[in-house]
Amino acid sequence: MLLNDCKQKLELTYPCSWVYKLIGREQEELQAAIAEVVQARECLVTLSNSSSGGKYLCLDVELVVVSAEDREAQHLAFKAHPSVVLVL
């Protein structure tokens, strides 16, 4: 059973603000990963959540993306970083 069988393409007007949720184990490591990936780009980083056992935490990273390719490239760069467990 499919919960969401919607196959519509996401339509955004660029440039636009986009939020990535990064899940990792250490806040300092995640913040270093963010600095490495976004480099000189301006971004807003906020603590979003942490697991009940304290093993994982989530940081929200909001930044302006200029195209769909840019949005995807940032996602892949975060995903490839060893300090990032999961990107949403």
**Closest residue by Cα to residue 21 from 58, 55, 50, 54:** 58
Average pLDDT, the chain: 90
Q: Which domain holds residue 62?
A: 16-87
Any domain includes 65: yes
Any domain includes 27: yes
The whole-angstrom separation of Cα 1 and Cα 19 is 29
> Residue 68 sits in a domain of what CATH number?
3.30.70.260
Any domain includes 73: yes
Any domain includes 8: no
Any domain includes 36: yes
Any domain includes 9: no
- 41-75 pLDDT tens trace: 999 999 998 888 889 999 999 999 999 999 999 99
Per-residue confidence (pLDDT) for residue 7, from 0 to 100? 65
What is the percent of the chain where pLDDT is above 90?
Answer: 77
Give the least confident one: 1-15, 23-37, 61-75. Answer: 1-15
Per-residue confidence (pLDDT) for residue 57, from 0 to 100? 95
Cα of 24 vs its chain's centroid, Å:
11
DSSP state of 59: E
